[in-house]
Amino acid sequence: MQHNNSGMWDREFTRFSSFIYEQVGIKLPPSKKTMLEGRLHKRLKSLNIKTYEEYATYVISSENKHVELIHLIDAVTTNKTDFFREPHHFEYLVRNVLPALAAQGSGSSLNIWSAGCSSGEEPYTMAMVLADKLPAYPGLRVSILASDICTDVLKKARDGIYPEERINTIPLYYKKKFLLKSRERTRSLVRVVPELRSLITFRRINFMDDDFGLTNKMDVIFCRNVVIYFDKPTQKALMLKFHQQLKPGGYLFIGHSESLNGLDLPFKPVANTIFQKV
């Protein structure tokens, strides 16, 4: 049933949810109807569109699809992230992965992909822990690709500017080394130092694309707390694409609430939520 004259009908929700699934692999159960309605309300207002039915037709029609789809996805994806989230992953990266790759003398480069990087906390955390250890590995070059489907958060990530309350989870040692305070004392903002920003390239990538358009194979892929929105077949298809994108013996890190169980994939577990390509 419809709440008010301009509310969302079930049939419109069905249209939106099938379209979103088709385009980006995210499954929206009927229980998410109120959430979707609330989040799309702003889009309707800014486009001066009166009903959800009209908006559904607008976003699904071919000439608007590519532009408007970005806004639709921005509305349905939640971008909850923190610096040093799941810290054991970053410890494993510097304690195990870094020395192993350096020992191989693997063309002296370490390519990492932060897939679903949101507002940048994950790739900047990687950059902090790696840049700190790099002096011990002369000649090793680190490059981090950070991607998301949401353009709003990518812009924030690229800027590398955060309110002070966002940096509580960063150990003091790294704060002192890699963050600059705003010169304007009234503004409690910090900025990531240029040395770290230069290690990271930001790009918009849709996991549903057949080919991510990446020339480099990766040593490490972090894709954490992203596939929880996907159903099993979509998860499996994506993990196989990641497998292809990794170098032999490359590593895949997933979120603590996620699992590869039952997906029958060519990865072996090497630590909690950390897998290696076989």
The catalytic residues are 39, 148
Q: Where are the alpha helices (DSSP H) in 108-171?
A: 121-133, 151-159
- Measured torsion, CA atoms of residues 101, 107, 108, 109, in degrees rounded to the nearest 10: -80
How many other C-beta atoms are found inside a 10 Å radius of the C-beta of residue 235?
22
Task: Determine the Cα–Cα distance for residues 200 and 162; give it in Å rounded to an integer.
Answer: 17
DSSP per-residue letters across 213-239: ---SPEEEEEE-SSGGGB-HHHHHHHH
Token pair for residue 88? 């054991």
78: its two tokens: 């939640």
For the beta carbon of residue 3, count every other beta carbon within 10 angstroms: 9
